[in-house]
Structure 1
Amino acid sequence: MSAGTALGASTARLRLSRYDVVVERGDKVWVHNGLSGRIVAVAADEWREVGLFLAGESSRASTEILRELTVGRMIVADDLDELEVLERRYRAGTADRSSFGLTIVTSLGCNFDCPYCFQVKPSEVLDAETERLLLEVLDEQLPTIRQFEVTWYGGEPLLGKDRIYRLSEAFLERCDAGHIAYSASIVTNGYLLTRETAERLRACRVGSAQITLDGPPESHDLMRPLKNGRPTFDAILDNVVESASVLPIAIRVNLDASNSGEHERLLDLLVDRGLSGRVTVYPGRIVAYDEGIGAPSESYRPTCYTLPEFAGVERDFLAQARARGLASTTLPQPISTPCTAVRVNELVVGARGELYKCWDSVGNHHEVVGHLRSWKDPNDRALKWLHYDPFTDEGCRSCIALPGCMGGCAHHQMIDPGDSKCSTYRLTYRQQVEEYVAAAEAAGSGAGPRHPLLPIVTVNT
């Protein structure tokens, strides 16, 4: 059987995808493909036959194996331009108008005083005119969209929770009447997320909450105190314990050189409070920058990790979290676009109706791209986001992580070109796939993680 005839009518030469990661373990070879997000397990002797087949030599590679590897994009036509495939995916994602997305700042003010915060936070709560305009904008979108996605954001959005309740009721009424799929999430510091509030949010179809705990109490309370300096850790953790059975909660732990060595104590505290298997915990990298607006983060730069430093810290953190049932073993999945900022039909709405494209821009008057009153006519500041193009960056074009990040954070690229926009998969993709395979094998023996893995195809002949 030769590479030119094995798959029937096709006479094209075939090759392995540039986005394959191949891991050999014992008598199996595992292949993960970033373009499809799939992973396939093949017997080692069969994988050798696949290699002979691709080299155009005599091979006993089975049609079943070749089909699975082709469907999973592990094997592609030799003349396929995979970058062009990704670029088409990106262009379609940025221009898609079938979905409408709003990040809504219900309160730009905040009850916390975090030293690494990138926002200037005047005490502004979403006003009545902005509520009215939000509904007018949605009404204009409804005839042409299939889904509407909302993220409640701040400052601290729960300082304006009555606005969340009121707007959610109006959103749901309109979407249900128009058979439009609706989903929502919230990013909150958790201090006000009581069980009662969580239940109200669930009734508003808020499907998940992101909360931050920056280490055990001593570290967290230094990094995330109330505005009056008082601690917040105990109140947040109590709320998480009470609310985790109501809302899916992801706990972000922001790490830098000042607190990363203390994450094991935090994880143990979460286990002690019965949160294993009930919440997901993940590390966040603090990236400081100075845009001249007087944000606290402008003086925080010295303690931040470089990407290679953070990659090592992240691996240790996730290993410890997985061992405690607080994280799953995952791999990046392919996406079309990295974020709201580059998608034409998504906006970030400030408490006074001002518009931004990026979450990181909230509160920065230099980055206002328009107002809800004239939302169809954004100013030229929006163009830098909509023109963001990872395919003009040679680093992105040559990176194995591209299918799962699509250029990463546009904002970080604009303010500090380099690796601050990147995910750690760029540096540790082989280790991440190896860890995933080990978890998959353990799950197969009944000793694996409690969280579901990606669909795995094991091909046997």
Structure 2
Amino acid sequence: MALEGAEARQVESLLDAPNSENSAHYHGLRRQLLEKGFLIPAEVNERDYLQNWHGQAQQPNRHLSLTIIPTLACNFRCRYCYQEHQPETMGPEVEEAVLNLAATRLGEDGTLSVTWFGGEPLLQIGRIERLTARFRRLCDQRKARYSSQIITNGYLLDRAMAERLRGCRINHAQVTLDGPQPVHDRRRPLADGSGTFDTILANIEAAAALVPIHLRINVDQTNRKGIPAILQQVADMELTNKVHPYLGRTYPYTGVCLEVAGDCLADADFALLELETTMELIEQGFLAYRAPRAISTYCMAEKANACVVTPHGSLLKCWNEASDPKAAVGHLLQPADDRMRRNAACWARRDIFQLECADCRLLPICMGGCPYLYYKTGRLHCHAWKSHLDESLAVYYYIKRLEQERDITKNFGELVEDVKAAVALS
């Protein structure tokens, strides 16, 4: 809803006193506010609703989410990478076990969501294609919906590779550029130290016509000033409708990358940078905006029917632990041992409704934040909007108005063309 003037004042009045005598005069607006969720019936307890929804997501169901790591090998040596570089690659036995896992856990009329991760997953494109073909056959048999995405450094994502990914029904590919060429190449070189920027940028241009690209920019104190330049470069390539940039945040997730800790942004600082970057995106013509939505859990780590599968068959709850052999909560080829059971119990011990989250108005879009960081640091990592809520809402409103204006312009253009066609025929 976008309201101005008298209507906006009426809405404010309704929100302040939804059951007053005056509310009867605004019956239509009141109904809209109820339908959109701005007003809640008095008998509905929102916290109970969220708690039930959250609890259901933590129980086994017919929906299955898998993050599959076909290899831990990587052709990059990023300065902030939290993984140990291992040449380990998935073999036929684990590949078959993954398929058996899917067949066991995917229900009729359910959904199978697969994220391909690494290492660098495109080093094992053949395995991705084989598993995808069998996953899709399984979904056809179960009348289930299949979706997938891939997280890749983009170095191998040329047009031919993009064609193969489109054949795998990849919904989108996440690729990272950390700034202009000198900045990016210092942060994300090949294993031999050579640069990667030029190849990745050319690949993005070639692949974007076939596979939507989510462009991640990992930021910290050392590269934050380069964000406008890389956005300008992508916009100049006329990719604003095919490439969707967003910010990621470097963090010392494991002992492998502790040296980057001093460069990481504080929560409020990152939240403000996100706002600034959103305005920069608008300036450059990137109008697509991913507004927060209500979620049942923060991520797959808190869902019963979701896991990460490593090349050797370990099952994890978080990909941050991909190269840690002691973090498994299960195994595809071995029975669970005491350590795996303790790990699994650890992931189940956080109750966000017993924490300060329960009284936070951003709970529906945050659900407690990253559970991995909570377990590692003992503190909550809140949604970025919490630091700058009013400003974030203002930016969101501004973007929605721009989208409306764009739609009006498009519709008017189509109307003019229809009139021209009708005149030509008369």
Q: Distance in 2 between matches of 1:247 and 1:346?
A: 25
Q: In the alignment, is the contact (CA less than 8 A) between 2:105 and 2:305 conserved in 1? A: no
Aligned to 1:267: 231
Q: Distance in 2 between matches of 1:72 and 1:374?
A: 49
Q: Does 1:235 align with 2:195?
A: no
Q: Which ranges in structure 2 are unaligned for 5 or more consecutive residues?
A: 411-426
Return the match for 2:139 from 169, 175, 180.
Answer: 175
Q: Distance in 2 between matches of 1:71 and 1:300?
A: 47
Aligned with 2:222: secondary structure? coil
The correspondence of residues 57-76 of structure 1 with structure 2, limited to 5 A, is: 57-76=21-40
Aligned to 1:403: 364
Q: In the alignment, is the contact (CA less than 8 A) between 1:107 and 1:351 conserved in 2? A: yes
The correspondence of residues 312-461 of structure 1 with structure 2, limited to 5 A, is: 312-374=272-334, 379-394=341-356, 396-419=357-380, 421-446=381-406
1:238-280 deviation per Cα after TM superposition (whole angstroms, max 9, x unaligned): 1100000100110000010000011111111112222121110
Q: Distance in 1 between matches of 2:31 and 2:156?
A: 53
Q: In the alignment, is the contact (CA less than 8 A) between 2:76 and 2:189 conserved in 1? A: yes
1:137-177 deviation per Cα after TM superposition (whole angstroms, max 9, x unaligned): 22223455611111100011111111101111111122223
Distance 1:353 1:443, change over 3 A: closer
Pairs aligned (count): 408
Q: In the alignment, is the contact (CA less than 8 A) between 2:61 and 2:107 conserved in 1? A: no
Q: Distance in 2 between matches of 1:248 and 1:422?
A: 29
Report how far residue 375 of structure 1 moved: 7.3
Distance 1:71 1:59, change over 3 A: closer
1:74-123 deviation per Cα after TM superposition (whole angstroms, max 9, x unaligned): 11234543211111111111214110111100111111111111111211
Aligned with 1:436: secondary structure? helix
Aligned to 1:16: none
Report how far residue 208 of structure 1 moved: 0.8
Q: In the alignment, is the contact (CA less than 8 A) between 2:185 and 2:195 conserved in 1? A: yes
Return the match for 2:148 from 165, 184, 192.
Answer: 184
Aligned with 1:431: secondary structure? helix
The correspondence of residues 108-123 of structure 1 with structure 2, limited to 5 A, is: 108-123=72-87
Aligned with 2:174: secondary structure? strand
1:262-318 deviation per Cα after TM superposition (whole angstroms, max 9, x unaligned): 11111111122221211100011112244x4xx1x1211000000011111111112
Report the RMSD for the aligned CA atoms in angstroms.
2.3
The correspondence of residues 26-105 of structure 1 with structure 2, limited to 5 A, is: 26-27=4-5, 43-47=7-11, 49-50=13-14, 53-54=17-18, 56-78=20-42, 80-105=44-69
Q: Distance in 2 between matches of 1:177 and 1:356?
A: 27
Amino acid at match of 1:408: G
Q: In the alignment, is the contact (CA less than 8 A) between 1:198 and 1:243 conserved in 2? A: yes
Q: In the alignment, is the contact (CA less than 8 A) between 2:66 and 2:309 conserved in 1? A: yes
Q: Distance in 1 between matches of 2:22 and 2:281?
A: 47
TM-score normalised by the chain length of structure 1: 0.83
1:308-364 deviation per Cα after TM superposition (whole angstroms, max 9, x unaligned): 111111111121112212352342111111111111111100011111110111111
Aligned with 2:295: secondary structure? coil
Distance 1:220 1:375, change over 3 A: farther
The correspondence of residues 253-332 of structure 1 with structure 2, limited to 5 A, is: 253-290=217-254, 292=255, 295=256, 297-332=257-292
Report how far residue 135 of structure 1 moved: 1.5
Q: Distance in 2 between matches of 1:253 and 1:449?
A: 31
Q: Distance in 1 between matches of 2:69 and 2:52?
A: 32
Q: In the alignment, is the contact (CA less than 8 A) between 2:154 and 2:203 conserved in 1? A: yes
Q: Distance in 1 between matches of 2:52 and 2:35?
A: 19
Aligned to 2:421: none
Q: In the alignment, is the contact (CA less than 8 A) between 1:50 and 1:61 conserved in 2? A: no
Q: In the alignment, is the contact (CA less than 8 A) between 1:322 and 1:449 conserved in 2? A: no
Report how far residue 380 of structure 1 moved: 2.1
Amino acid at match of 1:68: Q
Aligned with 1:75: secondary structure? coil
Q: In the alignment, is the contact (CA less than 8 A) between 1:89 and 1:336 conserved in 2? A: yes
Q: Distance in 2 between matches of 1:447 and 1:59?
A: 33
Q: In the alignment, is the contact (CA less than 8 A) between 2:108 and 2:142 conserved in 1? A: no
Q: In the alignment, is the contact (CA less than 8 A) between 1:405 and 1:423 conserved in 2? A: yes
Q: In the alignment, is the contact (CA less than 8 A) between 2:66 and 2:307 conserved in 1? A: yes
Report how far residue 387 of structure 1 moved: 3.1
Q: Distance in 2 between matches of 1:315 and 1:282?
A: 11
Identical aligned residues as a percent: 32
Amino acid at match of 2:393: V
Q: In the alignment, is the contact (CA less than 8 A) between 1:280 and 1:327 conserved in 2? A: no
Q: In the alignment, is the contact (CA less than 8 A) between 2:23 and 2:30 conserved in 1? A: no
Q: In the alignment, is the contact (CA less than 8 A) between 1:439 and 1:449 conserved in 2? A: no
Distance 1:44 1:144, change over 3 A: closer
Q: In the alignment, is the contact (CA less than 8 A) between 2:253 and 2:320 conserved in 1? A: no
Distance 1:270 1:375, change over 3 A: farther
Aligned to 1:214: 178
Q: Distance in 2 between matches of 1:122 and 1:52?
A: 59
Aligned with 1:176: secondary structure? helix
Distance 1:352 1:388, change over 3 A: same
Query: Which range moved further: 66-75 or 383-392?
Result: 383-392
Q: In the alignment, is the contact (CA less than 8 A) between 1:188 and 1:211 conserved in 2? A: yes
Q: Distance in 2 between matches of 1:321 and 1:56?
A: 43
User: Quick check: which one's helix share is greater?
Assistant: 2
Q: In the alignment, is the contact (CA less than 8 A) between 2:108 and 2:143 conserved in 1? A: no
Report how far residue 397 of structure 1 moved: 1.6
Q: In the alignment, is the contact (CA less than 8 A) between 1:189 and 1:212 conserved in 2? A: yes
Report how far residue 196 of structure 1 moved: 1.0
Report how far residue 433 of structure 1 moved: 1.4
Distance 1:48 1:162, change over 3 A: closer
Q: Distance in 1 between matches of 2:107 and 2:41?
A: 41
